[in-house]
Amino acid sequence: MFDLQKHYVMDENQQPVAVQIPIADFEKIEEILENYGLVHLMTELEDNERLSKEEALKYYQSLKGKNVAS
């Protein structure tokens, strides 16, 4: 893996309420999660059908556009 640099944000009672990480680390985590999701899209079809990487990516992008505000 990689060394994740975390900076905790505390409230007035010194309780952790959030974590800040460098944008490069966030983008790496996001890429890992997207690739994980693409693998599942490629393999979770009925009748042992499989999507190609390009088909899975296209389908994922269509889902992302519907469900994620850019």
**Per-block average pLDDT, block size 10, for the chain (70 residues)?**
87 97 93 83 66 76 63
Predicted pLDDT of residue 69: 46
pLDDT score, position 47: 59
Is residue 7 in a domain?
no
Residue 12 counted as domain residue: no
The 10 Å Cβ neighbour count of residue 42 is 18
Nearest alpha-carbon partner for 7 in 16, 20, 18, 26: 20
Looking at residue 70, what is its pLDDT? Answer: 41
In a domain, 16, yes or no: no
13 located within any domain: no
pLDDT at 10: 97
Cβ atoms of 5 and 25 closer than 8 Å:
yes
Torsion sign across C-alpha atoms 23, 3, 35, 18 = negative
Q: Can you give the residue range of the structural domain that contains 26? A: 22-67
Q: What is the pLDDT of residue 45?
A: 63
- Domain tally, the chain: 1
pLDDT for residue 27: 93
Whether 34 maps to a domain, the answer reads yes
Q: Decide if 46 is inside a domain.
A: yes
